[in-house]
A and B are shown apart, each in its own frame.
Chain A
Amino acid sequence: MNYIFYILIVFSVIFGVINGKTQEVVNAILDGADVSVKIALSLIGIMAFWLGIMRIAEKAGLVQWLAKLIKPVTKWIFNDVPPENEAIGNVALSVSANALGLTNAATPIGLKVMKELQEINSNDKETASDAMCMFLAMNTAGFQIIPATVIAVLVAVGSKNPTEIIMPTLIVTSIAFVSAIIIAKIFQKFWKNKLISPSEKGVNND
């Protein structure tokens, strides 16, 4: 992340000078900082709402039930998380919320998953665990059944058949989703052998 941060900013300045856009680059610092805080603040209310709802779901045993239901799949995907941990149930909820295009619900639930995974993180608390990388691989691949925003744009420009993109989108999103999981699995093995990571403490014999 250190290099990426450095490259982003240094390249921006260099390209800004080349393209004669230095003023825009400077303005972007202020705009970007401003937008970041606005995004965070706008999250507070909806975060609180979904964390409240999720707490009820947990106390009612719904999350645990869901975790048990998907255990056959998650046992393989999240081999470093106890299969009946609440995080697993919440992973299922988060992926479903994303799939249905419920972004407002997906982010709070996803952040809750991260918090639960952090509690069982065997690395130091500043280093991502394999389970976190796997969960984020699933998330960044963005599995979606209904691309609602895209359809809305197509409707706005007068598309007669905006739903025709659902089928190809579904195929592509599935391919990306499955590849993300497989790639994360491969990295999980490779990264462990390459670096002497603190996760060696809990030796896995899979």
Chain B
Amino acid sequence: MINILSLYALPFIIVLILTIGIVKKVPIYEEFTEGAKDGFSVAINIIPYLVAIIVGISMFRASGAMDSIATFLTPLLTKFTIPVDSIPIMITRSLSGSATLGLFTEIAHKLGPDAYATKLCAVIVGSSETTFYVLSVYFGSIGIKKFRYALLVGLLADFIGIVAAVLVCSWIFL
């Protein structure tokens, strides 16, 4: 049912904007093409920033560093009723969206939809964004090189999100 909302939201918004445009006598075809012109330059502008961050994170993933961190943190985190299988996701969440989704699919397949680890991971994945990706794309598109405190805030919020996910899930699902 809830999926219906997200299915209809998009076409509804588009129709609404076009209708209001026509009613207000905006030359919608001319304005559309005028606005769309920028699409190319914005997408091309972010390439150098994307290359920097995605190459860095791909190398980090390939090096097995995340597994090493996960092994290192496991004894500590299992004390807080955190299942071992969900630890890699917590580390990957801020770094790589595709890796996180891949890990989540793997866990869901391995443990089944009813496992506590699957549900905890589902909440972690669903409630957050890939901080590094968002920052590099958004800042990259306008050529910002000094992020100031943006990364720190993003990572702190991710950390709070994970803590909240662990608390809320252990309260609802355990």
Interface residues of A (CB under 8 A from B): 1, 4-5, 8-9, 11-16, 18-19, 21, 24-25, 27-29, 31-33, 35-37, 39-41, 43-49, 51-57, 59-62, 98, 100-102, 105, 107-108, 110-111, 114-115, 117-118, 125-128, 132-133, 135-137, 139-142, 144, 146-151, 153-154, 156-160, 162-169, 171-173, 175-177, 179-180, 183-184, 187-188, 191
Encode contact with A along B54-65: 1 for CB under 8 Å, 0 otherwise. Answer: 111111111111
Do A28 and B62 touch across chains, with their CB atoms under 8 A apart? yes
Q: Which of A59, A110, A149 contacts B31 (CB 8 A)?
A: A59
Taking a contact as CB atoms under 8 Å apart, the answer to whether B35 and A45 are in contact is: no
Which size class do B's interface residues fall under? 35 or more
* Chain B neighbourhood of A133, CB < 8 A: 147-150, 153
B83 is an interface residue with CB less than 8 A from chain A: no
Total contacts A-B at CB 8 Å: 352
The reply to whether the CB of B80 lies closer than 8 angstroms to some CB of chain A is: no
- A31 CA / B61 CA spacing, docked (Å): 12
Residues of chain A lying within 8 A (CB to CB) of residue B34: 52, 55
Pick the 5 closest A-B CB pairs, nearest first: A55-B35, A48-B39, A147-B126, A142-B129, A159-B113
Chain A residues whose C-beta falls within 8 Å of the C-beta of B57 in the assembled complex? 8, 32
Shortest Cβ distance from residue B91 to the other chain A in the assembled complex, whole angstroms: 13
Q: Is the CB of B40 within 8 A of A111?
A: no
| Contact B60 A8, beta carbon cutoff 8 Å | yes
User: A8 and B21: CB pair below 8 A?
Assistant: no
